[in-house]
Amino acid sequence: MNPQQYKKFAYDISEWYRMNQRDLPFRKTKDPYCIFLSEMMLQQTQVKTMLPYYDAFIKKFPTINDLANAHQDEVLTLWQGLGYYRRARFVHEAAQQVQSLHGGVFPSNLKAIKALKGIGDYTAGAIHSIAFNQPTPAIDGNVMRVMSRVLGDGRPINEPKTVASIKKIVSNMIVHEKPSDFTQALMELGALVCKNPPRCEQCPIRNYCFAYKHNKQSELPVKATAIKKVHQSFITFLITYQDQVFLIRNPKDGLLANMLACPQYEGNHLDNALAKLKDAYRIDIASVTFLKKLKHVFTHRVWHMHVYQIEVTSPAEPFYPINDLPHAISRAHQKVLQSLKK
């Protein structure tokens, strides 16, 4: 496509969006809090999965100040099941920043939006263009897939240089349209039409598309080799006293930060893990029983957990009722806790 066609391209895709957009609650509002929340929830998550969470959040925390005033555990509990809990903490911290730095009013300035916790280039662009109708592109994997096919760009889409160059082209397109519609049009086309495999016969921009013209849809986009997942083995302890379970609080930084968890130690040796456990916590062990092996897959790692149940003679450390666990627990360790019910 040549730059002379950008204006017509922007109109065609935006007009298609205006006629075909899905009936989604966060598409019907320009409230930056709603756009922010929906974009944070949609990272690595499909629309149909996040919708009930979005509705529950908006019901419980109708304004960004309601969210800022909530306790972090309340936020994590409501997020439970959506995964990638770092996003939940970021959402909460960003709300608190909006309250403390901007008097509870979501900032409209791009630099101020980007300065909020957990907001990267893509989310900032989405909020700026959708909520504030500013010509700032929002480039994510969906948009990269669409644009690499349209432009016939064979460079890896997960390399910063390719992203920068496509972002520049999208910046030159968005100025010709209502930015809010154009940004959502690209997102919607990527989600509904230009998928794998693409539905080119339904595509409003096929006349501009290199991949369509040259039958290269299956060759584009190109991705640099994915990073291999790291596999880790753990001895994981499910420590019980009558109908209570012992949980620890994870450190403030790192994977699953600040969440409740079962104590676990990397490696395959039970005796080593038991020695570390006894060293760290004041517990009197009555029995140790192997329960099962469990696997949990994260984005870049896989946990192989060898789960042992330990019964203790008295609850010297903080124990929680098994049937009424009050705080957010990672999905990996929810699976471990379910071992008690089977």
Contact footprint for ligand SF4 (CB under 6 A): 146, 149-150, 193-194, 198, 200, 203, 205-206, 209, 211-212, 217
Closer CB to ligand SF4, residue 212 or residue 234? 212
CA dist., res. 216 & res. 154, Å (int): 10
Q: Where are the beta strands (DSSP E) in 132-209?
A: none
| Smallest gap from residue 215 Cβ to ligand SF4 (A) | 10
Q: What's the gap between Cα 16 and its chain centre?
A: 28
Closer CB to ligand SF4, residue 2 or residue 299? 2
Tell me, what DSSP letter sits at residue 261?
E
| Smallest gap from residue 177 Cβ to ligand SF4 (A) | 17
| Smallest gap from residue 152 Cβ to ligand SF4 (A) | 10
| Smallest gap from residue 176 Cβ to ligand SF4 (A) | 18
Q: Where are the beta strands (DSSP E) in 114-242?
A: 230-241
On whether the CB atoms of residues 61 and 70 are closer than 8 A, the answer is yes
| Smallest gap from residue 55 Cβ to ligand SF4 (A) | 30
Residue 27: strand, helix, or coil: helix
The DSSP bridge partners found for residue 288 are 310
On whether the CB atoms of residues 75 and 63 are closer than 8 A, the answer is no
Backbone φ/ψ region at 61: left (φ over 0), alpha (ψ -120 to 50), beta: beta
DSSP string, 267-331: SS-HHHHHHHHHHHS---EEEEEEEEEEEEE-SSEEEEEEEEEEEESS--S-EEETT---S-B-H
CA dist., res. 83 & res. 256, Å (int): 10
| Smallest gap from residue 16 Cβ to ligand SF4 (A) | 10
Task: Determine whether 74 is an active site residue.
Answer: no
DSSP string, 189-223: HHHHTSSSS--GGG-TTGGG-HHHHHT-TTT-SB-
The catalytic residue among 15, 39, 93, 201 is 39
Closer CB to ligand SF4, residue 211 or residue 328? 211
On whether the CB atoms of residues 40 and 91 are closer than 8 A, the answer is yes
Closer CB to ligand SF4, residue 68 or residue 153? 153
To which residue do tokens 């391209």 refer? 9
Closer CB to ligand SF4, residue 38 or residue 184? 184
Closer CB to ligand SF4, residue 223 or residue 293? 223
| Catalytic residue numbers, as ranges | 39
